[in-house]
Amino acid sequence: MTASLTSCKPRILCLHGYYQHASIFSNKIAGARRKIERAYNLHFLDGPILLPPLEIGDNDNDEFGAEEPASLLSLPPRGWWCKSETGDYSLIHEAFEYIAKHVKEECVQYDAIIGFSQGGTLATALALSGILGPNLRAVVTAGAPYNQQVFQIALEFQTTSPNDVVNGFDNVPKLHFAGSTDALVSLESTSELCRSGGSGKLIVHDQGHLFPTRAARVKEVLDFLDVAFS
C-alpha cells in the first residue's frame, strides 16, 4: 500500500509486526494513519517472509486477529525474520538486504520510519545501519523488543566509519511506545531498545501489545515528528 510518491510531503516507511502484513498494519492504525497522512506520505511495506496461516485465537489477536476484515485475513501473514523453538534467529541479514533492495529498485528515499513490534525493532536498527541514507529524521516504534543480533547486523551495514556514526546515524531522534499491560514484549525490553538505538524517548501507555491510536498518543507522535522535521 503506497501513498502517492509524487507528493512533496516527507515520506515515512511503515513496518508491520510479526504475523501481520502491510494492509493489516495500515488497517489497525487507521485512526492514527488518517491524521498522520495529513502532513506525511506513508508507505506500508510487506515483510519478505511468508508465514503459515494461524488459526483464529492462536495469538490472542495481538497482531493478526479475528477483528480484521475477511479480505485482509485472506492475505498470507508475513515477518521480517524468524525465531526457532530453541530461540535462535535467522534471516535477519536478509531483512536488511530486502530493505536496501527496495530502496534501490524503487529509487525512493524515506525521511522517517514507523514500526510496530518486530517491525519497530527493525526500524530502530535501520536508522543505525544507514541503509536509508543521511536524510532520515525520525523513528517511531510501539511494542518493539530489543534484539542484540539485529543491532549487530545493523552495524555491518553502516556506510560510514564508527567515528562518524556517533554524530550521524546514532543521533536520529527516536520515540518508543511501550504498553504497561503488554503480555508479549516486556517494558524492560523496549527500554533496552530505547537505550541501545540512540537518542530515544520512551512513553509508557496503559494498553497492551499494539500501536496506540488514541488521540493523545497520536498527538505525541505528531508533535515528535513536527520537532524532528522543524
Residue 17 has pLDDT above 80, yes or no: yes
How distant is the alpha carbon of residue 114 from its chain centre? 5
* CB neighbours of residue 89 within 10 Å: 14
Kindly list the structural domains of the chain, giving each domain's residue range(s) and its CATH number in brackets, ordered by start. Answer: 11-228 (3.40.50.1820)
pLDDT digits (tens, 9 = 90+) for 87-106: 899 999 999 999 999 999 99
Check residue 2 and give its pLDDT. Answer: 43
Check residue 168 and give its pLDDT. Answer: 53
CA-to-CA distance for 220 and 173, rounded, in angstroms? Answer: 14
- Write down the pTM of the prediction: 0.89
Q: Are 42 and 111 in contact (CB under 8 A)?
A: no
